[in-house]
C-alpha cells in the first residue's frame, strides 16, 4: 500500500519511499492537517534513518504523546442548527426514513420544530453523535440512535407501545400489555414499530377472536361513527383484523364518490351533527348542505373519517397526518 503524496514537486521515488513503520504511523495520523504532517514526516525520516531499533522505537513512541497536535473532537456546542445546512438536510432525510419504521411516527417535511429536538439529542454528550452529524447522517445512523433511545428512555418505549396498540387494535395498551412489552423492547433489541405490529396482528388474527372482533368494531366507529352491522362484522372476521388497515379501507370507501359512498357519508355527517351542531345547518341534510360540508371537510385533499372530523370540531385542529386516536 503506497503512502499519500504530499508534495507533487518531489520525485515519485522520494515520495513513496516509506518503510512499513512510517506507513503505520501515516495511517494513525491520517486526519491531521498537511502542515502537521510535514512535521511528522521529518520525525519519521529521522527515526527511520537510525540504525538501532531502540532509539527508533523511543522516538516514534514519543511522537504518540503529541496528541495536542491532533484535530480536536467535534463538540456539540460548536454545531449551529440551521435547517439550510447540508448537515440538517441529511439529518431530515435520515430521520424521515427511520422514524416510521422504528418509532411509528413521521417527520414534518419542512418544520424544524420536530427535527431539531432529535438532532440536539443526537449530538448531546450522552449519545455523542456530534461527529457523525457533522459528516452527514445516514439512515443507519438515525435508526441506530432511535433504537438506543428505546433501550435507554422509558418515555420512548412507552410511546412506542401506545402507537403499536393504537395501530393494531385501535385502543390504548392496558397495564398488563405495558408490563409484557416494555422490558422486551428495552432488553431484547429486536422490537420496534416495524417488528411489533406484525407480531401483534398475527397474534390477534390467529389466537384472539374477541380482540379481532373488537378491533373491527372500533374501525367502524372511527370511520363512520356507528357500529358494524352483523353482516359487515361477519365479513370482516374472515380477513385481517388490523385496525389501521380497516380504517384506511373505510376512509377510501367513504370518499370514493359512488352512490353508496355518498349515502354513507351523508349518514356519517348526520351523526356528527347530532353531537357537534353547526349554526345554520339542520338535519336531515339537504343536498346543498351536504355538498357544502363535503367540500368543507375535504379541503386541501383531506379525506377525514368521522373521528377526525369530530376531533376538528372539538379542538379546531385537524389531527396530525397518520395520527391514530384511540376509539372508545
In order, the DSSP letters of 118-154 are HHHHHHSTTT--HHHHHH---HHHHHHHHHHHHHH-H
At 13 the pLDDT is: 35
**Average pLDDT for 130-144:** 95
Q: In the chain, which ranges are continuous DSSP H helix?
A: 12-15, 20-28, 34-49, 53-63, 86-102, 115-123, 130-135, 139-152, 154-168, 175-187, 193-207, 209-224, 230-236, 243-254, 259-275, 287-297, 306-315
d(CA 220, CA 246): 8
Q: Which of 310, 304, 314 is nearest to 327 (CA)?
A: 310
Task: Write out the three cell numbers for 277.
Answer: 351542531
d(CA 255, CA 236): 20
In order, the DSSP letters of 63-100 are HTT-GGGSPPPPPGGG----TTSHHHHHHHHHHHHHHH
At 53 the pLDDT is: 56
Q: 52 pLDDT band (50/70/90 cuts)? A: low
Residue 137's CB: how many other CB atoms inside 10 A? 25
d(CA 277, CA 270): 10
CA distances from 153 to 58, 117, 149, 156, 157 (A): 48, 15, 5, 6, 7
Distance, C-alpha 118 to centroid of its chain: 10
Q: Report the percent of the chain where pLDDT is more than 90.
A: 62
Residue 209's CB: how many other CB atoms inside 10 A? 12
pLDDT exceeds cutoff 80 at 6: no
Residue spans of the domains in the chain: they are 12-69, 83-152, 208-328
d(CA 56, CA 46): 8
Q: 275 pLDDT band (50/70/90 cuts)? A: confident
At 91 the pLDDT is: 95
Question: In whole numbers, what is the pLDDT of the chain averaged over residues?
Answer: 82
At 49 the pLDDT is: 62
pLDDT exceeds cutoff 80 at 21: no
pLDDT exceeds cutoff 80 at 219: yes
At 75 the pLDDT is: 54
pLDDT exceeds cutoff 60 at 25: no
**Average pLDDT for 240-265:** 96
Model confidence pLDDT, tens digit, residues 80-100: 678 889 999 999 999 999 999
Helix (H) or strand (E) holding 321: none
Backbone angles phi, psi at 135, to 5 degrees: -75, -30
**Average pLDDT for 36-40:** 56
Contact (CB, 8 A) for 101 and 146? no
pLDDT exceeds cutoff 90 at 184: yes
At 162 the pLDDT is: 97
Amino acid at each position: 500500500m503506497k503512502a499519500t503524496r504530499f508534495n507533487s514537486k518531489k520525485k515519485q521515488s522520494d515520495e513513496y519511499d516509506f518503510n512499513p513503520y512510517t506507513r503505520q504511523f501515516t495511517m494513525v495520523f491520517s486526519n491531521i492537517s498537511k502542515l502537521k504532517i510535514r512535521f511528522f514526516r521529518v520525525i519519521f525520516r529521522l527515526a527511520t534513518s537510525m540504525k538501532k531499533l531502540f532509539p527508533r522505537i523511543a522516538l516514534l513512541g514519543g511522537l504518540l504523546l503529541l496528541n495536542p497536535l491532533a484535530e480536536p473532537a467535534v463538540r456539540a456546542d460548536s454545531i449551529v442548527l440551521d435547517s439550510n445546512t447540508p448537515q440538517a438536510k441529511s439529518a431530515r432525510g435520515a430521520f424521515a426514513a427511520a422514524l416510521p419504521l422504528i418509532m411509528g411516527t413521521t417527520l414534518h417535511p419542512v418544520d424544524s420544530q420536530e427535527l431539531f429536538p432529535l438532532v440536539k439529542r443526537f449530538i448531546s454528550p450522552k449519545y455523542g453523535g456530534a461527529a457523525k452529524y457533522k459528516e452527514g447522517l445516514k439512515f443507519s445512523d438515525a435508526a441506530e440512535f432511535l433504537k438506543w433511545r428505546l433501550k435507554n428512555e422509558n418515555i420512548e418505549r412507552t410511546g412506542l407501545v401506545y402507537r403499536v396498540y393504537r395501530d393494531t387494535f385501535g385502543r390504548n395498551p392496558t397495564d398488563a400489555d405495558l408490563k409484557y412489552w416494555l422490558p422486551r423492547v428495552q432488553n431484547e433489541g429486536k422490537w420496534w414499530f416495524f417488528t411489533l405490529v406484525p407480531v401483534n396482528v398475527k397474534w390477534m388474527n390467529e389466537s384472539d377472536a374477541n380482540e379481532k372482533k373488537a378491533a373491527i368494531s372500533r374501525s367502524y366507529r372511527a370511520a363512520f361513527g356507528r357500529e358494524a352491522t352483523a353482516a359487515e362484522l361477519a365479513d370482516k372476521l374472515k380477513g385481517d383484523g388490523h385496525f389501521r388497515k380497516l380504517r384506511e379501507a373505510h376512509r377510501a370507501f367513504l370518499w370514493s364518490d359512488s352512490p353508496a359512498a355518498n349515502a354513507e357519508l351523508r349518514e356519517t355527517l348526520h351523526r356528527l351533527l347530532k353531537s357537534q351542531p353547526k349554526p345554520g345547518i339542520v338535519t336531515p341534510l339537504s343536498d346543498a348542505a351536504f355538498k357544502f360540508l363535503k367540500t368543507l371537510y375535504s379541503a386541501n385533499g383531506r379525506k377525514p373519517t368521522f373521528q377526525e372530523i369530530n376531533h376538528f370540531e372539538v379542538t379546531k385542529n385537524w389531527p396530525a397526518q397518520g395520527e391514530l386516536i384511540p376509539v372508545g
